[in-house]
Chains A and B, each alone.
Chain A
Amino acid sequence: MSKEDKTQPPSESGGEKSQESDSLESQPSSQAGEFQEKKAKFSAKPVKASPPASAKEKSDEPSARAAKKKGTAGEKDQAQQPPKSEDSSGPQPSSEAGKSQEKKAKAPAKPAKPSSSAAAKEKTDKPPAKPARPAKKKAPTYEDLVDDPLLESLQKKFSEGILSGQSFLDQATYTISLEVLHDVLLHLRDDADSDYDYLIDLTALDYLGDEKRFCVVYHLYSHQKKTLIRLRCAVAEGESVPSATSVWRTADWMEREVFDLFGIDFSGHPDLKRILLPDDWHGYPLRKDYDIKLQDQVWIKEHLQIRKTPE
């Protein structure tokens, strides 16, 4: 019985589904109706009176047939359901199938069924508000940091340079202006309180259309403190970012990669040249205005001696 399988298998999956659909609910409302229908199908709504009843009845048919086959298994699960979820959300979806199953389902299921159908009729018109369901979780957002010692110490030292400190799913992200970037990086590495000795990654983002088009991102990790932070710095096109090579040597190749794919210049870099693409390639592929399939035909003609590759 497909429905039984979906509602019953440990009701954790029910919880999971609600979480999934909750995150999906942030999508445009055109899809909301569909999701509401689907939620109604899998939640403990009575079949008779609710609008998605027709859809439910169709699925009830095969489920009823399957129920006969899986009578005993369903019976056990049905018996378990009432104690698990107080709203008898388990037996309800199978209320119609439960009827066909009733003959097989003996005493344990019976007391559940009449109460469920009674409760079901009450809830015909109400929106599904089951206390058993976990509270809706919002989609994660950027939240401003509060009481963060690192943010406070940075703000004390570089007052206007630190534009903001935010947290996303417990990941600290600091937005810094370009002028203080190099000093902040040095401070983070050298200061005993914030001993960030490991530059994990240096990358960039392209916000095409923004005034400051690129955003260079640094991920720093401290082995002593075991903390990981993220620094962001907005950079306009044509602006040159101070190189972090003097702070962490790995920044050497990472900046070359950023230069190769975005075209962001790093001042003070020992040897800024392309690292992944061929040296005489034209264009910066990871920019938003560079087509994913665009290949440098001039380079191809020169080096590969093939006339043309399809775009």
Chain B
Amino acid sequence: MGLIENRMHENIVTTTVDSVFNWARKSSLWPMTFGLACCAIEMMAAGASRFDMDRFGAGIFRPSPRQSDLIIIAGTVTLKMGEVIQRLYHQMPDPKWVISMGACSSAGGPFDTYSTLQGVDKVIPVDVYIPGCPPRPEALLYGLMRLQDKIDLMTIARTDEQSQAS
């Protein structure tokens, strides 16, 4: 409330329900850590003090998929793990978003081999891809902000499409 507190006299403020909901959702994206490989280090760095992710409201990393609305796939995804990721994604409650961080989870990275899933988007739908090997923490924050922009486009009204941005 820092933006509007103490600025106006008693008044009536009008807005849309959508913008309030979207503002609430994008400002409190609680990620589930899914640090698999090297990108996890950069994700930790992004969550640490220098590149604080908490100022976006996204610094609360939940250990459980049931309590998170964002999953950041950070690292190489093997076929064995792909199955697990599918299960976790299904356990996340709506609305949920997926950030694919790094080259490995976006497209398999340098590992075009028998064991590596060539992109996590083969098993779950991805909202934002962040390229890099690993992407800098600022890149992860930029991806987070782009996701926030994407959330801004959502509406809670019924639309003709089955699913919305999530």
A residues adjacent to B (C-beta < 8 A): 276-278, 285, 290-296, 299-300, 303-306, 309-310
Chain B residue with minimal CB distance to A290?
B114
Q: Are B86 and A305 in contact (CB under 8 A)?
A: yes
Chain B residue with minimal CB distance to A292?
B113
A304-B122, A306-B123, A309-B122 given as contacts; is B86 within 8 A of A295 (CB)?
no
Interface of A is mostly: loop
Which B residues touch A309, using CB under 8 A?
117-118, 122
Q: Are A293 and B113 in contact (CB under 8 A)?
A: yes
Q: Are B86 and A285 in contact (CB under 8 A)?
A: no
Chain A residue with minimal CB distance to B81?
A278
A277-B80, A278-B80, A295-B79 given as contacts; is B123 within 8 A of A304 (CB)?
yes
Which A residues touch B149, using CB under 8 A?
none
Interface residue tally for chain B (C-beta within 8 Å): 13
Q: Are A304 and B86 in contact (CB under 8 A)?
A: yes
Which B residues touch A305, using CB under 8 A?
86
Q: Are A304 and B79 in contact (CB under 8 A)?
A: yes
Q: Are B115 and A285 in contact (CB under 8 A)?
A: yes
Which B residues touch A294, using CB under 8 A?
114
Selected from A285, A303, A306, the residue in CB contact (under 8 A) with B114 is A285
Taking A293-B113, A304-B86 as given, write out 12 further A-B residue pairs in contact, using a Cβ cutoff of 8 Å, ordered by the A residue number: A277-B80, A278-B80, A290-B114, A291-B114, A292-B113, A295-B114, A295-B115, A296-B114, A299-B79, A304-B79, A304-B82, A304-B123
CA distance A296 to B114 in the complex (A): 8
